[in-house]
């Protein structure tokens, strides 16, 4: 999975887009390569976040494009979506047929804001 998000994320940010790429290792001409999984026929798209305090949150994601690139996305809509500063983890999950594909886990940092006294 690739976490494609802005350089700097802050507590309370709205409109921050998180993109996860579901990939698999395939053998091409005798060489192992990491390639995106075609998830166009998939369902139950999720991005799971693990907050710095260890609490997990599951968000319903959607395809970023047509799914052939393996990308799903979710965008923050509430100031409470990113409610803690510190190191977060994220992982994408997709159901395809009778199976579930999980991406690798990626890490990102949410920074605090300057508070006006």
Radius of gyration of the chain (CA): 16
Domain boundaries in the chain? 9-111
pLDDT per position as a tens digit, 47-94: 999 999 999 999 999 999 999 999 999 999 999 999 999 999 999 999
In this predicted model, what pLDDT tens digit does every residue of 93-102 receive, in sequence order?
Answer: 999 988 999 9
The model's pLDDT over 18-46, given as tens digits with 9 standing for 90+, comes to 999 999 888 888 999 989 999 999 999 99
Residue 20: CB atoms within 10 Å? 29
Residue 52's CB is within 10 A of a number of other CB atoms, namely 13
d(C-alpha 112, C-alpha 43), whole Å: 35
Q: What is the mean pLDDT of the chain?
A: 92
Architecture of domain 9-111: Sandwich (2.60)
Give the pLDDT of residue 3: 52
């Amino acid at each position: 999975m690739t976490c494609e998000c802005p350089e700097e994320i802050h507590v309370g940010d709205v409109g921050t887009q998180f993109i996860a790429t579901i990939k698999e290792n395939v053998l091409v001409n005798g060489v192992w390569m990491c390639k995106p999984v075609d998830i166009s026929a998939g369902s139950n798209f999720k991005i799971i976040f693990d907050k710095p305090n260890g609490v997990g949150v599951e968000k319903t994601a959607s395809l970023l494009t047509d799914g052939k690139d393996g990308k799903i996305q979710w965008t923050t809509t509430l100031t409470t979506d990113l409610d803690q500063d510190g190191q977060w983890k994220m992982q994408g999950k997709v159901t395809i047929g009778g199976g579930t594909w999980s991406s690798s886990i990626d890490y990102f940092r949410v920074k605090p804001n300057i508070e006006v006294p």
